[in-house]
Amino acid sequence: MAFCYNVYIPNDAIPTAQTKIKLADRILVSPLIVGTWAWGDKKLWGWNEELNVKAKEAFDMSLSKGINSFDTAEIYGFGESERCIARYKADHPIVGTKDIVVATKFLPFPYKLSYPSSLINALRASLDRLKVDCVDLYQIHGPVHLRPINVIANALAEAVKLGLSKTVGVSNYSITETIRMYDCLQKHDIQLASNQVEFSLLRRTPETSGLIRECHKRGIAVLGYSPLAMGRLTGVIPLGGARDGKQAEQNSGALGWRLTNEEISQLESYQINPKVSFFHRLIQHG
């Protein structure tokens, strides 16, 4: 039986392949989202044809398990990750790829000062690589922009008004930054759909700082990336990568069950809480 929840899955519910989560009252995502950072990346991940074949297996396996949501970014493989998704969709043996949900991201490097044109032009380029007219979720990759949040919010609102994205979100935003973005978008009658942050037992800051609580109060979904860093897969929407069919199948094994309260308490007793997220370490060390 299919169940649809708004923003997050409650603690007493067990997600299955039929479960869907509604973001911004506009799109439905699966309870697991496939991260595609490694797809197409030669410099960091050594992308080659063999890995391309394996990534296609991960794509097909994910869909076969009911996981229809994929997260990418313009910077992943310098656009190749987006092209991979377009190719894999076109080559998928099963009809119904129209139900696939794709989220991508805009990296607002400080030198990008002209808004909304910088963002709109980047989004159009992403749409071209993805071979779609409209993306499901368009996200700001991180708060590295020099322009104030209201300027970025106005650009995101323009993307929605132009019909280029169904919803908009942010990534790696603090509580203050998230609330500011939420308030600015509200002036356009647009709901901030999500905040994508690093969240696992190795980094529980989104939980302990109150970020998750403040997001949920405002109807903002929290997408937790790097959840397999010994991460707990409950409450937030986990976003895990898959580089081949076996990994995709293993990811799908997180559905249909949940940890007991006692097991969660035991895992939490081993947590480490570094203050700096992986995104910021990546930016700092290039």
Beta strands in 123-212 (DSSP E): 135-140, 165-171, 192-198
- Residue bearing the bigger pLDDT, 253 or 208: 208
- The full DSSP string for 261-284 is HHHHHHHHTT----SS-HHHHHHH
Say yes or no to pLDDT of 256 above 60: no
Q: Are 197 and 225 in contact (CB under 8 A)?
A: yes
pLDDT of residue 257: 47
Name the strand (E) or helix (H) holding 33: strand 33-35
pLDDT of residue 15: 83
Is residue 241 classed as helix, strand or coil in its secondary structure? strand
Distance separating alpha carbons of residues 86 and 131, to the nearest angstrom: 6
Say yes or no to pLDDT of 114 above 90: yes
- Phi, psi for residue 111 in degrees, rounded to 5: -75, -10
Say yes or no to pLDDT of 254 above 80: no
DSSP 182: H
Is residue 51 classed as helix, strand or coil in its secondary structure? helix
Active site residue 76: yes
Residues 6+ apart with CB under 8 A from 143: 149, 170, 172, 173, 174, 177
- Residue bearing the bigger pLDDT, 69 or 12: 69
The catalytically annotated residue of 5, 8, 76, 115 is 76
Say yes or no to pLDDT of 239 above 80: no
Reported confidence tier of residue 282, pLDDT bands at 50, 70, 90: very low
Q: What residues does each domain of the chain span? A: 19-285
Reported confidence tier of residue 2, pLDDT bands at 50, 70, 90: low
Say yes or no to pLDDT of 233 above 70: no
Q: Are 248 and 57 in contact (CB under 8 A)?
A: yes
Describe the strand order of the beta sheet including 20-23 as a list of residue ranges: 4-6, 20-23, 27-29
Reported confidence tier of residue 1, pLDDT bands at 50, 70, 90: low
Instruction: Out of 3.20.20.70, 3.20.20.100, 3.30.1490.270, 3.40.140.10, select the CATH number for domain 19-285.
Output: 3.20.20.100
Read off the amino acid at residue 73.
A
Q: Are 274 and 200 in contact (CB under 8 A)?
A: no
pLDDT tens for each residue of 25-79: 999 999 889 999 999 999 888 899 999 999 999 999 999 888 999 999 999 999 9
pLDDT of residue 271: 52
DSSP 76: G
Read off the amino acid at residue 135.
V
Distance separating alpha carbons of residues 170 and 145, to the nearest angstrom: 12
Q: Are 249 and 63 in contact (CB under 8 A)?
A: no
- Residue bearing the bigger pLDDT, 272 or 72: 72
pLDDT tens for each residue of 127-168: 999 999 999 999 999 999 999 999 999 999 999 999 999 999
pLDDT tens for each residue of 184-213: 999 999 999 999 998 877 778 898 999 999
Q: Are 143 and 175 in contact (CB under 8 A)?
A: no
Kindly tell me the burial class for residue 188, based on how many C-beta atoms sit within 10 Å of its own C-beta (0-12, 13-18, 19 or more): middle
Say yes or no to pLDDT of 250 above 50: yes
